[in-house]
Amino acid sequence: MTKMLTVDTNPVDCYLRVDRIPHIWCAGCGIGPATGCFLRAIDRAELNPDKVAVVSGIGCSGRVAGYIKLDSFHTTHGRALPFATGLKLGNPELNVVVFSGDGDIVAIGGNHLIHSARRNIDMTVICINNFNYGMTGGQMGPTTPLDARSATSPYGNFEYPFNLPYLVAASGATYVARWTVLHLRELERSIAEALTKPGFSFIEVLGPCPTVYGRRNKLPRGMDEMRSYQERSVIRDGADPKDVELSLNGPIVVGKFVDIERPTLWDCYQQMLDRVTKP
Ligand SMILES: Cc1ncc(C[n+]2csc(CCOP(=O)(O)OP(=O)(O)O)c2C)c(N)n1
Ligand code: SF4
Ligand SMILES: [Mg+2]
């Protein structure tokens, strides 16, 4: 891919299907900034874009695949991970990235998430957690904080939510981090690191959904929302994932929580082949 930069183009335009712009995202949505970080991370990690494949499911976050001018696949709801697994096993040279939302990856796709982590499939998962199903009008999901209001919890959520870093770390992920869309530099660096690390990497990105989740929970908007992220967040690299639970208005612990080595599914497959084919 040849980059053609002029003064009025954005450095990541080469990775975007600009003919699809304007995008569908609302003003103040966190998905756009997270997408920008991902695209800049491709350059930071010095990847060959021709070897990067992006897979999304369904949802506002799942629209990302439609806007990215790489090999990108907009799959069915919750099935981005199995699709990505097939891509990776079919062509292990590919750098496979799943970019989708909390509903897509953790609710309908939750089963695939824990098993992809358990098998340590070499891929990077970027999960935009906006605490609800934004696209369909703001229903509650498995990351909706206790007491948060949503279309389906009008008096406040009484179901205990998942703590995603703890869930994926316990399932076997070898790289786990969380950032908000206020932490653009850290997020870009973290994605670049995850892209070059073998094994199952998971990055939770907390991003606002002002249109449905934010409005129902009377959260600050725009710059005020960013200020609230700034006031609430604390960077704690190496924190134990079980200690990074989120709540509606409480502290937000961000950072890199897990960075360990473990053989990937492909490594284990090769080891088994070596063993059984030895004379
Ligand atoms: C099989 C199936 N069930 C339900 C839906 C409806 N649906 C579309 S997007 C979505 C939730 C998306 O939530 P999330 O992944 O958090 O994305 P967001 O819109 O919040 O970014 C649902 C339930 C669907 N498209 N397909
Ligand atoms: S509904 Fe929410 S998640 Fe969807 S584009 Fe609007 S702000 Fe973003
Ligand atoms: Mg969501």
Structure token digits, residue 259? 């960075």
pLDDT-derived band at 98, boundaries 50, 70, 90: very high
- Say which ligand is closest to the CA of 136: 1
Residue 5 has pLDDT above 70, yes or no: no
Q: Is the CB of 136 under 6 A from ligand 1?
A: yes
Catalogue the E-assigned strands of the chain: 52-56, 71-74, 95-101, 123-129, 175-180, 200-206, 233-235, 252-259
| Ligand 2 center to 33 CA (angstroms) | 13
Can you give the pLDDT at residue 15? 96
Nearest to 116 by CA among 31, 59, 159, 55: 55
Q: Compute CA distances 85 → 92, 97, 173, 206, whole Å.
A: 10, 10, 15, 25
Q: Is the CB of 59 under 6 A from ligand 1?
A: yes
Q: Is the CB of 148 under 6 A from ligand 1?
A: no
DSSP label at residue 62: G
Residue 129 has pLDDT above 70, yes or no: yes
Taking the mean position of all CA atoms in its chain, how far away is CA 93? 21
| Ligand 1 center to 231 CA (angstroms) | 30
Residue 113 has pLDDT above 60, yes or no: yes
Summarised one tens digit per residue, pLDDT across range 29-57 is 999 999 999 999 999 999 999 999 999 99
| Distance in angstroms (rounded) separating the CA atoms of residues 201 and 50 | 21
pLDDT-derived band at 6, boundaries 50, 70, 90: low
Summarised one tens digit per residue, pLDDT across range 243-257 is 999 999 999 999 999
Model pTM? 0.96
Report the nearest atom of ligand 2 relative to the CA of 28.
7
| Ligand 2 center to 160 CA (angstroms) | 23
Summarised one tens digit per residue, pLDDT across range 181-206 is 999 999 999 999 999 999 999 999 99
Residue 58 has pLDDT above 70, yes or no: yes
Residue 7 has pLDDT above 80, yes or no: no
- Say which ligand is closest to the CA of 219: 2
Query: Among all chains, which residue has been given the structure tokens 């001018």?
Result: 69
Can you give the pLDDT at residue 25? 97
Residue 4 has pLDDT above 60, yes or no: no
**If you average pLDDT over residues 91-108, what whole number do you get?**
98
Q: In this structure, are residues 170 and 118 in contact, taking their beta carbons and an 8 Å threshold?
A: no
Lowest mean pLDDT segment, chosen from 8-22, 50-64, 87-101, 264-278: 8-22
Can you give the pLDDT at residue 2? 56
The 71-74 sheet, strands edge to edge? 71-74, 52-56, 95-101, 123-129, 200-206, 175-180, 252-259, 233-235
In the chain, what are the domains? 27-277 (3.40.50.970)
